Chains A and B, each alone.
Chain A
């Protein structure tokens, strides 16, 4: 009885969200680099329930990735320095894309170029392909030995986004780095250049040291921190970006549960992506989706759009102002 009521409730709920011209049946995606070999291991009927899948970042030419060790467990999280190991765009399109297309879930293709032209070439390769709904520009991988990431420079961000937008009919999403002073500035730059959405956050640059060997644990020396350890910082960054941009935000950063995902949605995210949690609880994307539906049904929310950015800020705003004034006093 209760189950049937809930089911009816679900039927009446609208979970669809839009990124540019692309429509997704619900706001829950699987984040880049955390999903593979679905055809062999996954119940594809369950995968099909999700809003979108973002496969691992593709570069123009194949990359063999960073030397081992590539990952290390940290408190409530992990550090990785995979180094965008991938077969290159043509290899990906030949071998990896067809089984993903077969699932029937919308795909957001994550691309990374080493130049603006490479980004454009990559974008062109994915035009008009079945089930490819959008492009995510990875402007923020911390593990490629670059001194500055595109997403650390508003001008570079603007340039890359504008170049791809000019040459792509697919919606363009700029994936941003948390390793910046003010992520809202970069989000604004992406929006001004025509991005259809921003996704945040990529991983935090970080390191773990083996004190016995007096060496960094990772083969790449440094890596990117992900998992629940970074979630509160990610929620704050999404909130900050949401104050400054009108385009949708796809949020990620340590989402393990529906409650985690809802924090991002209330802070202003239109979609959420589950990443690292897939390694711990591979059912988490589906559980997050079910949990969001339960929250909506319990709170009599019929359209997900009603709760996007619906954080109540009255008292908190006053608190924030007070603490800012307090700081100013102290500085004086």
Chain B
């Protein structure tokens, strides 16, 4: 019954390093419609196992729709076996997208942890078209092998700073070590963040300290993706809010990150 559910064809499903994949599928209607921060809800295969669909941020939408994912369980495990030409049952794009930076913003800082970098490539694709915006990416990954799309970010004009847990590239440590790289100004800086909750909580703390506005793209286990089941609710200052319908993008100050 949803207008947004369709079967598309897989164009490629490339393994980038152990457990990390980039899947492209041919969905012109999604390419036309999708806004940065929105997601697609994919049924990994017909049948009852795994049972739920799985939500993925759209990472890029140029010729094809690209998603970027890590194999963490049975859903992403089955997805990683998809081959070129396979059918893919997709519901989307859905969810609240990132707002464009408010008037007066000159510096956009994207703070990403691990697979949370996914929505920032499509965001930088859109933001690079806006004149006079300085784009900064602060990106934390496990090792050198877990840092992706740097070429694409740089060609979008992003100043990209990297931190890795083992120091194999960039600064050693978590992404919050990179906060010193930027010069925050409450009037002209805007933050977007996506990644593990402790990392987004650190970004929130930093934003509050400096009086900076921003937005966070959140994640939760999800069933319907259409705001019907209320299963993916998270705590916010306004009460419980669904990640699928009220989010996944929330105002950074609004989210209550459980430790």
Binding site for B on A (CB under 8 A): 33-38, 41-43, 46-47, 56, 64-65, 67-78, 80, 82, 85, 227-228, 256, 276, 278-283, 285-286
Residue of B at shortest CB range from A46?
B1
Please list the 9 inter-chain residue pairs (A to B) with the smallest Cβ-Cβ separation, ordered nearest first: A36-B228, A71-B231, A279-B223, A76-B48, A279-B224, A46-B1, A37-B227, A42-B1, A282-B2
With beta carbons under 8 angstroms apart, the residue of B51, B91, B227 that contacts A282 is B91
Residue of A at shortest CB range from B50?
A73
Q: Say yes or no: B227 contacts A78, CB within 8 Å.
A: no
In the bound complex, how far is the Cα of B7 from the Cα of A283, in angstroms? 13
With beta carbons under 8 angstroms apart, the residue of B52, B224, B232, B240 that contacts A73 is B52
Q: Contacts A68-B233, A68-B234, A82-B231; is A283 near B1 (CB within 8 Å)?
A: yes
In the bound complex, how far is the Cα of B2 from the Cα of A286, in angstroms? 11
In the bound complex, how far is the Cα of B3 from the Cα of A77, in angstroms? 25
The answer to whether B230 has its CB under 8 Å from any CB of chain A is yes
Q: Say yes or no: B1 contacts A36, CB within 8 Å.
A: no
In the bound complex, how far is the Cα of B224 from the Cα of A282, in angstroms? 8
In the bound complex, how far is the Cα of B195 from the Cα of A246, in angstroms? 56
Which B residues are in CB contact (< 8 Å) with A69? 220-221
Q: Say yes or no: A34 contacts B221, CB within 8 Å.
A: no
With beta carbons under 8 angstroms apart, the residue of A37, A47, A56, A227 that contacts B51 is A227
Q: Say yes or no: B5 contacts A67, CB within 8 Å.
A: no
Interface centre among B52, B53, B227 (most CB of A within 10 A): B52
Q: Say yes or no: A43 contacts B1, CB within 8 Å.
A: yes
The answer to whether B161 has its CB under 8 Å from any CB of chain A is no
In the bound complex, how far is the Cα of B221 from the Cα of A283, in angstroms? 21
Q: Say yes or no: A37 contacts B233, CB within 8 Å.
A: no
With beta carbons under 8 angstroms apart, the residue of B43, B231, B234, B258 that contacts A280 is B43
Q: Say yes or no: A65 contacts B51, CB within 8 Å.
A: no
Q: Say yes or no: A80 contacts B229, CB within 8 Å.
A: yes
Q: Say yes or no: B43 contacts A33, CB within 8 Å.
A: no
Which A residues are in CB contact (< 8 Å) with B224? 34, 36, 278-279, 282
